[in-house]
Amino acid sequence: VSQSRYLVDKIRVQFLKVGYNHTSSGTWNTSDAIMTMAVNKAIANTSCAAISMSFRASSAFTGFKNALINAKVNGRGGKGIPLFASSGNDGASSFTQAPGAWPEVMAVGSSNSTNTRSSFSNYGTNLFAAAPGSSILTTDRTGGKGYSVNVDPSLDAVTYFNGTSASCRAMAGVAASMILVSPTLTEPQVRTILAQTSRKLGGYNYTSGKSLELGYGIVDQNAAVAAAIAGVTPTPCYRDWE
């Protein structure tokens, strides 16, 4: 309990706005320059332990991609910043959208309460691993502008939602926890520990350690942080970055 409380007290989240012209349907605009500036801001923050990207971007954003490569290789004083992106919510057996499908980034899918793939979660060979993303409790606006209205006023400020956006943020938080307890970890070491400590659940075929449905499995924060504390040197996994 004391270790969990320590992690909660020490980890901070910085939100960077990368869009404009938002609509009520949830669409918005951005540009290569805006996305690049956001990544560069994260690189400039020497305390940045992970980058979470719950959106789709144009594959033509070459400046953005180059900035991500720079973050992965040179961030954190040369140790590298782990990069995470949502796999998407189309229920598709493959996905190619940026940044999740880019090899520099770890694409995160959604698992549910039965430890299987959420029906909406994109999956396939580009998937790195999964984290809970079904029926996630989150804060909500109160009153009629909220996403849900509860009879009990004490519950009016919370709601449940589904999406790989939740999964992506959860895994980024695990990576940040690992770096917090072991600051010398490099990005390749974080990636490998996450792959090797994720739980191979769901009854899927984990050929070469991976399944199409959940990638390396469902992230296990306890096991990942324990491995980081132990200072293990895991065998590298080469699928995602060559």
| Contact of 70 with 83, CB cutoff 8 Å | no
Note the pLDDT of residue 223.
94
Distance CA 4, CA 19 (A): 34
Q: Which residues of 6-29 are buried (b: 16+ CB within 10 A; e: fewer)?
A: ebeeeeeeeeeebeeeeeeeeeee
User: How many CB atoms sit inside 10 A of residue 161's CB?
Assistant: 15
pLDDT at 89 exceeding the cut of 90 = yes
Average pLDDT over residues 94-112: 97
Structure tokens at 43: 């690189």
Confidence of residue 234 (pLDDT cuts 50, 70, 90): very low
Number of Cβ within a 10 Å radius of residue 125: 12
d(CA 225, CA 44): 25
CB 81 within 8 A of CB 42: yes
Among 55-64, 132-141, 142-151, 205-214, the minimum mean pLDDT is found in 142-151
β-partners of residue 51 are: 83
Would you say residue 150 has pLDDT above 80?
no
* pLDDT at position 152: 63
The answer for residues whose C-beta is within 8 angstroms of residue 49's C-beta and 6 or more apart is: 11, 76, 81, 82, 175, 176, 179, 180
Per-residue model confidence (pLDDT) at position 241: 38
Count of alpha carbons within 13 angstroms of residue 62, beta-carbon side: 0
Q: Which residue has the higher pLDDT, 12 or 59?
A: 59
Helix axes 187-197, 221-230, angle to 10 degrees: 130
pLDDT at position 84 is 98
Structural contact between residues 239 and 186, judged by C-beta atoms closer than 8 angstroms: no
Pick from 35-39, 197-201, 234-238: least confident = 234-238
State what percent of residues in the chain have pLDDT above 90.
68
User: Among residues of the chain, what percentage have pLDDT more than 70?
Assistant: 89
* pLDDT for residue 53 is more than 70: yes
Residue 160 phi, psi dihedral angles, 5° rounding: -115, 145
Report whether 198 contacts 175 (CB < 8 A).
no
Mean per-residue pLDDT over the chain, rounded: 88
Q: What is the pLDDT of residue 242?
A: 34
